[in-house]
Structures are given as C-alpha cells and as structure tokens.
Amino acid sequence: MRPEFEDCTEVLRHLYEFHDKELSAAEADEIREHLMACEPCLDHYQVEDVMRLLIRRCCSAEKAPETLRLRVRAIYTRTVIITETT
Ligand SMILES: [Zn+2]
C-alpha cells in the first residue's frame, strides 16, 4: 500500500476526488482498501455520499422520484414518533 493512503487524514483529503472519480484506478483502489479496513473513514465516505445524492436531487430540475420522497417521509415520521415518545 502507498504510504500516503495509510494515513486517515490523507484518505479524507482525497475523498472528494475519489467521489468525483478524479483519481487514477490505482489510487482509487488504495482508498477503497483503506475504507474497507477503517470504520471512521467509511462513515465519512458514506455521509458524503448521502449528502451529495440529496444535494444533486434538490438542485436538479427533475422532481425527486416518488420512492425517495416516501423514504425521506418515512425517516421523518419515525424521527417524530421517537422524539414524541421519549
Ligand atoms: Zn482511516
């Protein structure tokens, strides 16, 4: 493994490029390998992934698909129920 991708800070710094597929195949492999072995970095990666997906949906002229709207509403409803019962 290349030394620069053994360090979490370096991996997180390259996460944007990884998402945008701006890294070489070899570099992307190294980051993917690190993510599989490192839970904190994987969390960062997944949060980033979800945020980008939501932002892209919100900013695009297309309407959000019905399934996504239902899923968001289900999560929201569940959150409200949990908040009310506690
Ligand atoms: Zn890490």
Counting the structural domains of the chain, the total is 1
pLDDT digits (tens, 9 = 90+) for 9-56: 999 889 888 888 899 999 999 999 999 999 999 988 888 777 777 777
Q: Output the pLDDT for position 22.
A: 92
Find the 41 Cα to ligand 1 centroid distance in Å.
4
Find the 11 Cα to ligand 1 centroid distance in Å.
7
Find the 26 Cα to ligand 1 centroid distance in Å.
18
Nearest to 28 by CA among 15, 18, 39, 40: 18
- How far apart CA 69 and CA 43 sit, in angstroms, is 24
Find the 34 Cα to ligand 1 centroid distance in Å.
6
Q: Which domain holds residue 24?
A: 3-85
Q: Output the pLDDT for position 66.
A: 72
Find the 46 Cα to ligand 1 centroid distance in Å.
13
Q: What is the pTM of this model?
A: 0.56
Query: Do 65 and 38 touch, CB atoms closer than 8 A?
Result: no
